[in-house]
Structure 1
Amino acid sequence: MAERLHGIFTPTLVPFDEQGQISEAELRRFLNWLIERGVHGLYPNGSTGEFTRLTVEERRRIVKITCEEARGRVPVLAGAAEANVKETLAACEAYAGYGAAAVAIVSPFYYRLGPEALIAYFQEIARNSPIDVTLYNIPMFASPIDVPTIRKLSEEPRIIGIKDSTGDVAFMMRMIAAIRPNRPDFVFLTGWDAVLVPMLVAGCNGGTNASSNAIPELDRRLYDLFRAGDIEQAMKLQWRILELFDAMLFGFEFPDGFRAGAEMRGFKMGRGRQPMSSAQKADCHALRRVLQCILSDEGLTEPPPEGCAPRTGIQSEDKIRQIVFEIMKTLEDRGVI
């Protein structure tokens, strides 16, 4: 890998047409829009992209299209999780040929594996993959990867980083403390938008942020503020992103809220692969209005015709300063910064 992965990677959504097939033209338009609005990389076939609801052929087609549209402008971190080692390595081979910078491989799901089995699984992949590998830790859906296991796997030269979606800042700090002294090049990405600033302060290189499907400008601005050392302003923006993230994540079945957000930015996402009941559709209609009000308040879309109630804000500036101070103090006490 020529350059270490960093910044905001979008775990890209997949637009579907009226027949439920991938809308390739809309996908290409969407990918270019994301790049033009400043995301640092694209991450197809992630959880937000509903990779488990796609066929093998569809997953490969999505990565090929993504690499074609990226055209070296931004790196592609391709989700390569398949049902077993053999199929995963076949995906790695294909994605290397398409021009992806690296692959992200989730730990085995459905069958829960312990640490020794996870080490054997990832070692087999790393030692036979033609492309760099990032681990993907998402315990809510797959076998959890603990710190000793990650430290052991970091000894494999082909494993160049981890995407962690626990949202646990302390866990991230323990990983960084255990691995970075021996692998300063090892990449740490957070998959939890709600704590992006604390994760960056703790030492993360960036994030794979589902919210960037709808608000790429805000996620990029947050990252730039952090890199400029303006943590207070970054935290103010973090609170605004948190409100949007919560509306998209908790107001809908995942990832339908993020699909709704992308639609409000002008994209025809179509229906996802998971059917909805009539009650869910009614709830979605009401929740879309809430989401539209939040997006319009950020100047990213028009308000609904019926208007929006005034927003009261999430935190006062004094509260934000207090939270930033407490985060920094904790990290200093632990010797992280």
Structure 2
Amino acid sequence: MKLSLESIKSALGDGLLSFPVTDLDDKGKFNSITFADRLEWFMSHQVSSIFVAGGTGEFFSLSQDEYRSIVKVTSETVKGKVPTISSVGRSIPEAIQFASIAENAGIDALLLMPPYLTECAKEGVFEYAKTIMQSTNLPVIYYNRANGILPAEYIQKLADACPNFIALKDGTGNMEALNTTIKTLGNRLIYIGGVPTAEIISEAYLSIGVNTYSSAVFNFVPDMANHFYKSLRAGDKETVNLIIKEFFIPFVKLRSNSQGYAVSLIKAGAKLIGKSAGDVRAPLPIPNADEVETLKKLINKAATLIK
């Protein structure tokens, strides 16, 4: 079922968003059966929108054939119950190809990742984003992070040039720059929090009008993730402070043990709750036994934080 633009925008702007991990079997191949089960499980836990093949879904390591399978399974499983978004990016030709694959599969919108370069001039990033956005009929969310960061004036230019540019996902955590963009563009765009473990700065996001964010921990503690989000939106500071102190601060500390753990720990958490998606692909590292044990204790703690 094709969703209306307004329903997509509404879901992106108010409700908890999440990025399922990509299921791999014991040989490192995409596992469509367990991935479909994961999507069903996500929908049973009140997720507002589902972003597949994202950063948490190891987009950077997926082949075109794997991507094609992921978006096909997603559309066939979700069936319009919530908006589905898939990533595009890398080079311009690849991004255009992936966008076409997603559109043909019935995906509702795209998340445009930064280009693959070590350094990019703002003018070049703008042309990169504009070219890709203008190549597709799908609504596009721009992921402002890494080597693809655009300041307010370039976001404005991009919005003027591309009517299908509907949302900005912040991956910087730079509240000054983000607030400048929000005050410059107003309600022309929807704004989404997108730093790793976005809950840790969710209060700051909310204070400048960013009502939602992507929750990676939804992959293994969905009930607590929902409880935290609802408490945040309700202004329940006591509960928000408690969960940040008891879960998110220790989790972020564990995440800082190694680069890549923003994804690796999510897959480890999924395995701990009996919903294994296999291991991460290189160059991401696999957490060691002590780290997995620490994560297990955090998962047990999360269950006690839900009233």
What's the TM-score, normalizing by structure 1? Answer: 0.79
**CA distance, structure 2, for counterparts of residue 65 and residue 256 of structure 1:** 23
- Which of 146, 152, 165 in structure 2 is aligned with 1:147? 152
- The match for 2:219 is 213
Equivalent of residue 124 in structure 2, options 117, 123, 146? 117
Q: Aligned residue for 1:26?
A: 34
SS in 2 for 1:135: strand
Counterpart of 2:164 in structure 1: which amino acid?
R
Residue 211 of structure 1 contacts residue 245 of structure 1 at CA under 8 Å; is this kept in 2? no
Query: SS at 2:42's partner residue?
Result: helix
**1:172 to 1:49, Cα distance in 2 relative to 1, 3 A:** same
For structure 2, the 5+ residue unaligned runs are: none
Taking the aligned partners of 2:247 and 2:16, their CA distance within structure 1 comes to 14
How far is the alpha carbon of 1:134 from its aligned partner? 0.9
Equivalent residue number for residue 74 of structure 2:
66
- Secondary structure of the 2:90 match is coil
Q: 1:264 to 1:107 in 2, by over 3 A?
A: same
Is 1:186 the counterpart of 2:189? The answer is yes
Contact 1:101 1:131 in 2 (8 A): yes
CA distance in 1, matches of 2:265, 2:16: 19
Structure whose alpha-carbon radius of gyration is higher: 1
Give the number of equivalent residue pairs: 291
Corresponding residue of 1:316: none
Unaligned runs of 5+ in 1: 301-312, 314-337
What amino acid is aligned across from residue 167 of structure 1 in structure 2? G
Q: Which has the higher helix share?
A: 2
Give me the CA root mean square deviation.
Answer: 2.2
1:131 paired with 2:135, answer no
Match of 1:261 among 262, 265, 269: 269
- The equivalent residue for 1:335 is none
CA distance in 2, matches of 1:293, 1:212: 16
In structure 2, the CA distance between the partners of 1:52 and 1:238, relative to structure 1 (3 Å rule), is same
Matched, 1:299 2:303: yes
Pick the aligned partner of 1:286 from 290, 298, 307.
290
**Residues 53 and 273, structure 1, Cα contact 8 Å, conserved in 2:** yes
Kept after mapping to 2: 8 A contact 1:38/1:217: no
Cα displacement string for residues 127-156 of structure 1 (whole angstroms, at most 9, x for unaligned residues): 2211011111121xx332222211221222
CA contact (8 A) 1:197 1:235 kept: no
Counterpart Cα distance in 1 of 2:62 and 2:242: 37
Q: Does 1:92 align with 2:99?
A: yes
Q: Please, what TM-score do these two structures have when normalized by structure 2? A: 0.87
Identity of aligned residues (%): 22
CA contact (8 A) 2:18 2:49 kept: yes
SS at match of 2:47: coil
Q: Deviations over 1:176-211 (max 9, x none)?
A: 11111xxx1411111122212321222113112222
SS for the counterpart of 1:110 is coil
Structure 2 residue 84 is matched with structure 1 residue 79: no
Aligned with 1:274 (options 276, 282, 298): 282
Matched, 1:243 2:249: yes
CA distance in 1, matches of 2:108, 2:237: 30
